Amino acid sequence: MDKKYGAYLCTGCGIGDALDIAALAKAASENGMEAKTHEALCSAAGRELIENDITNDGVNTLVVCACSPRVMKDEFNFGDDKYVTRANLREGVAWCAEAVTEKHTAEKVKEFATEKGQDYIRMACVQAKKGDVPDPYKLETLNRKILVMGGGIAGMTAAIDAAKAGYAVTIIEAQDKLGGKALGWRKQFPMSAPWTDLEEPTVQAMVDAVQAEAGITLKTSTEVARIAGAPGAYKVTLKAAGTKSEWDAPKKVGVDEQDKISKGEMEDPNAGLKPYMADDADAEDFGAVVLATGWNPADVSEYAHLGYGKLKGVVTNAEFEKLAKTGKVPANVAFVQSPGGAEHDQDFPYCNSVTSMVALKQAQYVREDNAEGKAYVLYQHMRTPGNMEMFYKGAQNNDGIFMTKATVTQVEESGNGLAVHLKDTLLNEDVTLNVDMVVLAAGMVPTTSDKPTINLAYRQGPGFLDLELFDGYADSHFICFPYETRRTGVYACGGVRKAMNMEETMDDACGAALKAIQSIESADRGVAVHPRSGDGTYPEFFMQRCTQCKRCTEECPFGALDDDEKGTPKPNPTRCRRCGTCMGACPERIIGFKNYNIDQVGSMVKSIEVPDDDEDKLRIIVFACENDAYPALDMAAMRKLPQNALIRVISVRCLGSVNMAWIKDALSAGMDGALLLGCKFGDDYQCHFVKGSELADKRMANIGETLGSLGLEPERCAVRQIAINEYNKVDEVINEFVEAIIELGPNPFKGF
């Protein structure tokens, strides 16, 4: 668009007291923008000042020099056709100004702070010049149907809720009827006060409701063979459950096997399979997918001392439920919640509060079926959250239910029954229980843990990546975005997301249905879903310079990019989360967004004034992730915690978007160091875009080697991890790096 600029400088909230306003205005004028000042730009009068310029002078590109871009978003929103950049003078400068050394006077502190504010204004002006209003990507044809995979409690709830919201839904279920594992329940947990009594299963009523809903199409004995496309435009191929499909994931074939296949000595297991990327004209169209394929009981046979698979009376909790549903249960039963043995303080894998409550439920079966029955619940951890605490207390008050913290050391045959040897860790005594049956608390393993399940026709493979980070659960950021998977438009709920009871599952399914709806409507508007919800940008590629290196397709955390047979990337904008990881990965710098690109940020870095004759005024660039690090800096400033005056902070979408060209630009411009502040990765993973911080760490290690070859210390570049709640330590992390740079001394390239 033809740009008409307007710069506006706020003097309120302490900005005018801490900084030299005339010097700040000069920084704007040096960039061809005369700054208008106001004591409160966010007020009605301040906004009127800006709106008058828009109406009377045609201003459409605004530089607002005031508070953090994280606040006052509505106050400084002047319509989708106006481009607004923000210079963070309040939180970023005025509220965190400090003396660089003890010798510095208040006048010197103001000088340093003003210089920092000038740089932020210069960067905001350059950002306005180099950016533009995005043109949202919109599909030519958008489909609003929702595919629900799984017909259990989660799938049925999601389908009913989506249908009630006015969306057509298709449920596919691998079994020949709806209901899932709930069909095998004898009773269900209490769903209402007083939360102490078991209730009759309501699953059949849910099945009836689904079958009566006109907006729901049901396909039983059916599985997904392949899902291609993107949100708003999925192409889904179905197959009969249990049958082989031409889209099945190829089996791995070793060198010896390949040799036998070529010689005709064995059949090719992948014969007849189509590549996932091929088109399928027979596919059905959908707009979003709800993954509700549930869970399977964990394998407990590895615990030899418990006798599962060898002793007749040792069963899992799932097997005991089937017995209870069809007949009378034994009179004396031990419910073992922990494997004991060497791992005496651990629960069975995939156990949580649900398996605790299942034991309490099944203990009541023993009492219901046997007047003198005795149920022994042997646990290391008993979890009954929320209202289920009343359920736990009800079991405690049952004279025939005995609960104790215990380590089971051996289960063996004894007469017509079983002997359970245990160490009672409350009484510190060895105890032997003679029972009729032992029930092991097998956990709930998500169906995504051992197979793709959704069979995506994506370049990155048919399933989700790195599920070992989440114990096989289909989730991309468990804390902040519960229903999101690593694949935009696919939303997980119920047992495939985490082990949960019926009440939690129904709430979860409602959330996933709403997310599926949001994904469709966001695709219709051409905007992103979480965490950059509503973002109308999308990555654009200058394909003429693409070298088919495949880094963008390999590093994209969300599978937004496919590629052709040459390796040329094929974007799917509605899959994209707008993190910019592809932009950071590209060595040719051919990927960018209208309002966030290599040239724009690189120019912002170069706009920082770097003194070349004052060793007290070193300059350190800080690229701070907008999800955790930048908010932590803001929150520290709100508490008037100091921030080092030598740093200049640029907010980035994700550390994964940081292109190493920016680091080179900074150092070649005379900057003395570059620090990347991002989300935590590794075992304490917190990254909102899954891989961004980890990728940045790897890239920085590589650029460190390059710096060494140029005669620059690799220590001038670093990556640090900051959680959003670590505002009280962010300055300590920064100061540690700054002190290391001071120790190294000025950049030897300064002034060249």
Using alpha carbons only, what angle is made at residue 9 by residues 7 and 14, rounded to the nearest 5 degrees? 165
Residue 682, pLDDT > 70, answer yes
Q: What pLDDT is stored for residue 486 in this prediction?
A: 87
Tokens of 98: 């400090």
Sheet with strand 83-88: strands edge to edge: 35-38, 5-10, 61-66, 83-88
Q: What is the mean pLDDT of the segment spanning 733-748?
A: 93
Q: What is the distance between the alpha carbons of residues 145 and 163, in angstroms, rounded to a whole number? A: 10
* Burial of residue 649 (number of CB atoms within 10 Å: 0-12, 13-18, 19+): buried
Highest-confidence segment of 449-458, 568-577, 699-708: 568-577
Using the CB atoms, write b or e for 375-396: b if 16+ within 10 Å: bbbbbbebbbeebbeebbebbe
Q: What pLDDT is stored for residue 250 in this prediction?
A: 67
Over residues 199-221, the pLDDT tens digits come to: 999 999 999 999 999 999 999 99
Q: What is the mean pLDDT of the segment spanning 621-647?
A: 95
Q: What pLDDT is stored for residue 471 in this prediction?
A: 78
Backbone angles phi, psi at 330, to 5 degrees: -60, 165
Over residues 488-508, the pLDDT tens digits come to: 999 999 999 989 999 999 999
Residue 101, pLDDT > 60, answer no
- With cut-offs at 50, 70 and 90, classify the pLDDT of residue 530: confident
Q: What is the mean pLDDT of the segment spanning 407-422?
A: 94
Q: What is the distance between the alpha carbons of residues 531 and 626, in angstroms, rounded to a whole number? A: 10
Q: What is the mean pLDDT of the segment spanning 46-53?
A: 97
Query: Taking Cα atoms as reference points, which of 601, 567, 559, 562 lies closest to residue 584?
Result: 601
| The residue type at 665 | D
Q: Whole-angstrom distance between the N-terminal and C-terminal Cα of the chain? A: 36
Does CATH place domain 146-248+275-296+446-525 in 3.90.1010.10?
no
Q: What pLDDT is stored for residue 281 in this prediction?
A: 60
Q: What is the distance between the alpha carbons of residues 164 and 261, in angstroms, rounded to a whole number? A: 53
- With cut-offs at 50, 70 and 90, classify the pLDDT of residue 340: confident
Write the Ramachandran bin of 681: left for phi over 0, alpha for psi from -120 to 50, otherwise beta: beta
Q: What pLDDT is stored for residue 94 in this prediction?
A: 95
Q: What secondary structure letter does DSSP report for 250?
A: P
In SS3 terms, 63-84 reads as EEEECCCCCCCCCCCCCCCCEE
Residue 422, pLDDT > 80, answer yes
Does CATH place domain 596-752 in 3.40.50?
yes
Q: What is the mean pLDDT of the segment spanning 137-141?
A: 94
HSE (CB half, 13 Å, CA atoms) of 21? 15
- With cut-offs at 50, 70 and 90, classify the pLDDT of residue 244: confident
Instruction: Round the CA-based radius of gyration of the chain to a whole number and report it.
Output: 31
Sheet with strand 717-721: strands edge to edge: 647-652, 620-625, 673-678, 717-721
Query: Which residue shows structure tokens 């207390």?
Result: 393
What is the total residue count of the chain?
Answer: 752
* Topology given in CATH for the domain delimited by 540-592: Alpha-Beta Plaits (3.30.70)
Q: What is the distance between the alpha carbons of residues 279 and 294, in angstroms, rounded to a whole number? A: 29
Q: Answer for the pair 620, 646: CB distance below 8 angstroms, yes or no.
A: yes
Please name every residue paired with 8 in a beta bridge, in sequence order, or none if there are none: 36, 64
pTM of the model: 0.90
Please name every residue paired with 248 in a beta bridge, in sequence order, or none if there are none: none
Tokens of 22: 């005339």
Q: What is the distance between the alpha carbons of residues 465 and 480, in angstroms, rounded to a whole number? A: 19
- With cut-offs at 50, 70 and 90, classify the pLDDT of residue 106: confident
Q: What is the mean pLDDT of the segment spanning 149-163?
A: 98
Write the Ramachandran bin of 692: left for phi over 0, alpha for psi from -120 to 50, otherwise beta: alpha
In SS3 terms, 662-711 reads as HHHHHHHCCCCEEEEEECCCHHHCCCCCCCHHHHHHHHHHHHHHHHHHCC
Please name every residue paired with 444 in a beta bridge, in sequence order, or none if there are none: 297
Please name every residue paired with 212 in a beta bridge, in sequence order, or none if there are none: none
Q: What is the mean pLDDT of the segment spanning 327-342?
A: 90
Q: What is the mean pLDDT of the segment spanning 579-589?
A: 96
Residue 103, pLDDT > 70, answer no
By DSSP bridging, strand 569-571 and strand 561-563 are antiparallel
Residue 582, pLDDT > 60, answer yes
Report the 10 Å Cβ neighbour count for 607: 23
Residue 752, pLDDT > 70, answer no
Does CATH place domain 316-442 in 3.50.50.60?
yes
Decide: helix, strand or coil at residue 414: strand
Residue 630, pLDDT > 80, answer yes
Contacts of 685 (CB under 8 A, 6+ apart): 469
Query: Taking Cα atoms as reference points, which of 325, 16, 26, 290 lies closest to residue 155?
Result: 290
* Percentage, residues of the chain above pLDDT 70: 95
Over residues 381-398, the pLDDT tens digits come to: 999 999 999 999 999 999
Q: Where are the domains of the chain?
A: 1-133, 146-248+275-296+446-525, 316-442, 540-592, 596-752
Return the higher-pLDDT residue of 278 and 596: 596
Q: Answer for the pair 46, 10: CB distance below 8 angstroms, yes or no.
A: yes
Q: What pLDDT is stored for residue 104 in this prediction?
A: 66
Residue 165, pLDDT > 80, answer yes
Report the 10 Å Cβ neighbour count for 371: 8
- With cut-offs at 50, 70 and 90, classify the pLDDT of residue 460: confident
Decide: helix, strand or coil at residue 208: helix
Residue 277, pLDDT > 60, answer no
Alpha-carbon distances of 429 from 244, 301, 379, 505, rounded to whole Å: 55, 27, 15, 40
Question: For all residues of the chain together, what is the average pLDDT?
Answer: 91
Using alpha carbons only, what angle is made at residue 236 by residues 561 and 549, rounded to the nearest 5 degrees? 15
Residue 528, pLDDT > 80, answer yes
Query: Taking Cα atoms as reference points, which of 36, 26, 96, 29 lies closest to residue 64?
Result: 36
Q: What is the mean pLDDT of the segment spanning 532-555?
A: 94
Q: What pLDDT is stored for residue 371 in this prediction?
A: 92
- With cut-offs at 50, 70 and 90, classify the pLDDT of residue 368: very high
Q: What secondary structure letter does DSSP report for 205?
A: H
Query: Taking Cα atoms as reference points, which of 624, 529, 622 lies closest to residue 574?
Result: 529
* Percentage, residues of the chain above pLDDT 90: 77
State the CATH class of domain 1-133. alpha beta
CA 1 to chain centre: 35
> Range with the lowest mean pLDDT among 299-303, 658-662, 704-708?
704-708
CA 381 to chain centre: 28
Over residues 503-525, the pLDDT tens digits come to: 999 999 999 999 999 999 999 99
- With cut-offs at 50, 70 and 90, classify the pLDDT of residue 268: confident
Residue 479, pLDDT > 70, answer no
Contacts of 424 (CB under 8 A, 6+ apart): 404, 405, 406, 430, 431
Residue 369, pLDDT > 70, answer yes
> Range with the lowest mean pLDDT among 181-195, 550-564, 580-594, 707-721?
707-721
Over residues 684-725, the pLDDT tens digits come to: 778 888 888 999 999 988 887 777 777 788 899 999 999 999
Identical topology for domains 316-442 and 596-752: no
Decide: helix, strand or coil at residue 6: strand
Tokens of 642: 């100091």
Residue 128, pLDDT > 90, answer yes
Return the higher-pLDDT residue of 481 and 369: 369
Tokens of 439: 């029930």
